């Protein structure tokens, strides 16, 4: 499900990520976006360091929002599910390490995402390692602190090289304030996804592909993230006959250019075999105001 490096290097890492995202800002004269990005990366690195120092449970409880969920694979409200400590559990029985490789922030600088590789190992068997990719969505609380509102992770047989994936998607909507109340944008996005934006409720692979950004990333168990609409569309066409989404929640940036939805999916494959699971979609607004999926993460209900 989930994901170090020490936080003193956070700003340098944020600058590297900003450069990878195509930012022209320099390390000596950071702009507002780079400062926000640096603070987000700092929060992720502190989260990762706490996981190693204090254990996974303490780190997640300290960094998740009150309503923050982790896909495991069904959505779990961490602060509710992990409120009571397990009896006689060693917090260091498992070691979870991760680091952000890519990140992005909304133009309102109150909302963002991080993603990168993680390694999970048992303290008693340090050589027995499991690899994967995490994806986290963060939102600032009223005090300005970053907190995780959604976390999901996929598994891989070997470590994933994020450098090979190229630049991460960035918001293209050029306003700093939403063109409608955030509550209205949230309701509109949830209703649209539930009805496949007029296509549904069932989506064909072609209709699904039309909802994707050209630089979309698809995260699935067993393989590195797929990059680009064409690659994802090809994978969908090869494996899927139809799919529908049943959203359970959403968060939207104040600027209305970035959002995340999550919930349950139901799908029929090319052989008409039914399967289901849980998903998270990171949405970005295009220049024309249309929402497109930038990150598509899905976890099957049965592993």
Helix (H, G, I), strand (E, B) or coil at 131: strand
Backbone angles phi and psi of 146, in degrees to 5? -75, 135
Q: Which structural domains are found in the chain, ordered by start?
A: 7-165 (3.10.450.50), 182-300 (3.10.450.50)
Backbone angles phi and psi of 75, in degrees to 5? -60, 130
- The answer on pLDDT for 16 being more than 70 is no
Cβ proximity of 208 and 218 under 8 Å: no
So what's the pLDDT on residue 292? 95
DSSP letter string, 182-233: HHHHHHHHHHHHHTGGGT-SSB-HHHHHHTEEEEEEEEETTEEEEESHHHHH
- Joined together, the tokens standing for residue 72 give 């495991």
The residue with greater pLDDT, 65 or 86, is 65
Does the model's pTM come out above 0.85?
yes
Among the residue ranges 26-40, 53-67, 152-166, the one predicted with the least confidence is: 26-40
Cβ proximity of 76 and 60 under 8 Å: no
User: What whole-number percentage of the chain has pLDDT above 90?
Assistant: 72
So what's the pLDDT on residue 31? 87
The residue with greater pLDDT, 140 or 85, is 140
- The answer on pLDDT for 167 being more than 50 is yes
Tens digit of each residue's pLDDT (9 = 90 or more) over 23-52: 444 455 778 999 999 999 999 999 999 999
DSSP letter string, 57-122: HHHHHHHEEEEEEEESSSEEEHHHHTSSPPTT--TTSEEEEE--SEEEE-TTSSEEEEEEEEEEEE
DSSP 174: -
pLDDT tier, 176 (very low <50, low <70, confident <90, very high otherwise): low
So what's the pLDDT on residue 25? 47
CA distance 255 to 273: 41
DSSP 28: S
The closest of 51, 62, 20 to 37, measured between CA atoms, is 20
Q: Using alpha carbons only, what angle is made at residue 13 by residues 8 and 14, rounded to the nearest 5 degrees?
A: 105
- The answer on pLDDT for 275 being more than 60 is yes
So what's the pLDDT on residue 173? 65
Average pLDDT over residues 249-262: 96
Tens digit of each residue's pLDDT (9 = 90 or more) over 103-135: 999 999 999 999 999 999 987 787 789 999 999
Helix (H) or strand (E) holding 23: none
The residue with greater pLDDT, 94 or 141, is 141
pLDDT tier, 17 (very low <50, low <70, confident <90, very high otherwise): low
């Amino acid at each position: 499900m989930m994901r170090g490096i020490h936080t003193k290097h956070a700003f340098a890492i944020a600058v590297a990520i900003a450069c990878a995202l195509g930012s022209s800002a320099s390390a000596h004269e950071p702009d507002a976006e780079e400062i926000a990005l640096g603070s987000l990366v700092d929060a992720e690195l502190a989260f990762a360091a706490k996981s190693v120092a204090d254990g996974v449970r303490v780190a997640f409880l300290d960094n998740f929002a009150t309503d923050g969920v982790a896909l495991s694979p069904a959505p779990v409200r961490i602060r509710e599910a992990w409120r009571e400590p397990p009896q006689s559990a060693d917090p260091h029985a498992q070691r979870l390490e991760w680091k952000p490789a890519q990140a992005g922030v909304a133009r309102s600088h109150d909302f963002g995402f991080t993603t990168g590789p993680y390694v999970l190992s048992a303290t008693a068997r340090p050589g027995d390692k499991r690899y994967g990719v995490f994806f986290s969505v963060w939102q600032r609380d009223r005090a300005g602190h970053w907190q995780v509102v959604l976390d999901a992770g996929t598994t891989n047989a070997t470590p994933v090289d994020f450098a090979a994936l190229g630049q991460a998607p960035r918001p293209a909507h050029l306003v700093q304030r939403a063109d409608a109340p955030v509550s209205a944008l949230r309701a509109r996005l949830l209703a649209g996804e539930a009805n496949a934006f007029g296509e549904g409720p069932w989506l064909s692979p072609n209709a699904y592909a039309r909802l994707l950004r050209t630089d979309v990333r698809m995260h699935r168990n067993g393989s590195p993230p797929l990059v680009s609409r064409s690659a994802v569309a090809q994978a969908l066409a090869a494996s899927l006959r139809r799919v529908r989404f049943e959203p359970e929640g959403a968060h939207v940036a104040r600027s209305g250019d970035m959002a995340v939805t999550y919930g349950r999916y139901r799908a029929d494959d090319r052989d008409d075999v039914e399967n289901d699971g849980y998903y998270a979609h990171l949405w970005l607004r295009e220049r024309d105001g249309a929402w497109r999926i930038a990150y598509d993460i899905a976890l099957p209900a049965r592993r």
